[in-house]
Structure 1
Amino acid sequence: MKAKDIMTSRVISITPDHSVGDAARIMLANRISGLPVCDSEHRLVGMLTEGDLLQRAELSPSFWFGRDQPTAAPPTDDYVKRHSWRVSDVMSRHVVTVNETTPTDRIAAIMVANDVNRVPVMRGETVVGIVSRQDLLRAVASYAPDETATGDRALRRAILERLCEDVSLERELIDVAVTDGQAFLWGQVTDEAKREAAGAAAASVAGVKGVTNRLRVVAGELPSPMRLPVLIEATQQ
């Protein structure tokens, strides 16, 4: 799936001249936690999120009671972000964006790498949608395993394809046996991460009842195509 398949198309935005109070009320009224900030020509210039508002002076008792406790003076930039009423002074100007065709796995990686909860989806300079972490969770929740043909032979073919395509294992160095829906993985891989990924990939094929992972981790470069035990072929009869 891509951004256009999961994004929220109804984008609520504000201008840099909005007040912080108005922005907070818009978030509450629409049950959203972030707002794109667009200029008069509808170009994206920033993002205002709940995180930007958590350090506001309005949340501090000293804001109401005259700072009766001595504290060190905050840096000028921090003071402006805490006290200014204008969105332009409080918003985050560095905005991470994606386009409509960005794959969902790439979006998830971008969110993790940049520690953000949502990304605007751009078409040129225009915001056409928002993808949030909740949108990604919905995609995970709605995922259905691929439909495959029934029978052990069909399952074996599907698992082999999944291991080669999704986990990038060498076909000549692995094999799969399936008996009554129980899958057995054989062969060699370069590291434990690929071994675990292979087991998860095999288990995700519809119709597989269980997986016995007998792949061996071989450090360094794998040998050229190996010959697997005759037992594997025998289990396919």
Structure 2
Amino acid sequence: MRTSQVAPISARRIDRSLDQMTVADIMTHDVTAVSPETAIHDAARLLIEQEVPALPVVDSAFRVIGMLSEQDLMVRLGPRRRRPWWQFVIDTDRVAREYRQAVGLTAGEVMTHPVTTVIPETSLESVIALFDDQGTGVVAVVSEERLVGTIDRRDLVKALLTVPVAQARRSDADLIAQMRERMAQEAWISRPRPAVHADHGVLALWGFVSGDAEKAALVTMARSIPGCRDVEDRLISKGTIHRYHEMI
């Protein structure tokens, strides 16, 4: 059970930045799906052959009703967890679902459901947040409730290859504003925040930070701003000052 094929992402040209891209730009169209009646052993073989972390489970109308993942199958390999008696009283539905998943013989019995789906117009930013919040590895892409593709973490990594390396030049004032805006959004940055200067595309950071990790993160933050040519690190770690005083 497969969907139509399209050119692989590496063959596509995308002239937009990551924050402008949508699921349609990078999703996998050539998808293998299984039915609820598919035997577990057949589904496991497909996972290995297709080298994917999960398979969509669809009904006869190609509507997504669940996802069968490697994690779902791993549940069957280990011993069943012993639960305290009170869980059987207050959470019987969950215990029953876990039992069915542990001993089920078909994809429909073992799959994770319900599942969150996205549409081709969904932003990559939203998909990344979905991966972080739910810990999922694959998300089904639907259009008019029918499966049209999937997107997984590897697709997001491949998206980096499609972004033009060359970045447009930015004024020094714009670079400074971008750096200050980024720092304002992060609670881990020491107060007062470091001073920022720019000269011909080179950002300079001045000030005190709590430690080497914060210092390195700030340099990376500056370097990742489109148009930044280099970073001049004048940050001083408070930990370095402390170690210096101990030495003297």
Normalised to the residue count of structure 1, the TM-score between the two structures is 0.65
- Most deviating of 132-141 and 104-113: 132-141
SS in 2 for 1:17: coil
Work out the CA distance in 1 between the residues paired with 2:132 and 2:184. 24
Structure 1 residues 140 and 81: CA distance shift in structure 2, 3 A: same
**Cα deviation, residue 140, structure 1:** 3.4
Contact between 1:162 and 1:201, CA under 8 Å: does it hold in 2? no
Please tell me whether Structure 1 or Structure 2 has the larger radius of gyration of its CA atoms: 1
Residue 93 in 1 paired to residue 109 in 2?
A: no
Whole-Å separation in 2 of the counterparts to 1:185 and 1:22 = 57
Once the two structures are superposed, the pairs formed by residues 1-237 of structure 1 within 5 Å of their partners are 1-56=21-76, 59=77, 75-140=95-160, 142-145=162-165, 147-149=167-169, 154-160=170-176, 162-163=178-179, 177-179=197-199, 181-184=201-204, 200-204=220-224, 205-212=226-233
Q: 1:213 & 1:198 partners in 2: Cα distance?
A: 11
Cα distance in 2 between the residues matched to 1:17 and 1:140 = 37
Does structure 1 conserve the Cα–Cα contact (< 8 Å) formed by 2:176 and 2:198? no
8 Å Cα contact 2:202/2:228 also seen in 1: no
CA distance in 1, matches of 2:25, 2:69: 24
SS of the residue corresponding to residue 40 of structure 1 reads coil
Report the CA distance between 1:42 and its aligned residue. 1.3
Instruction: State the shift of 1:184 in Å.
Output: 3.1
Measured against aligned partners, the alpha-carbon deviations of 1:18-40 in whole angstroms (never above 9, x if no partner) come to 11111111111211121111111
Indicate the SS of the match to 2:139.
strand
**Structure of higher RCO (CA pairs closer than 8 Å, 6+ residues apart):** 2
Contact persistence 1:37–1:47 (CA under 8 A) = yes
The two structures, once aligned, show a CA RMSD in angstroms of 3.6
Aligned residues: 190
TM, length-normalised to structure 2: 0.63
Identity %: 27
In the alignment, structure 1 segments of 5+ residues that lack a partner are: 63-70, 187-194, 215-237
Q: CA deviation at 1:55?
A: 1.6
Provide the C-alpha distance between the structure 1 equivalents of 2:140 and 2:204, rounded to a whole number of angstroms: 44
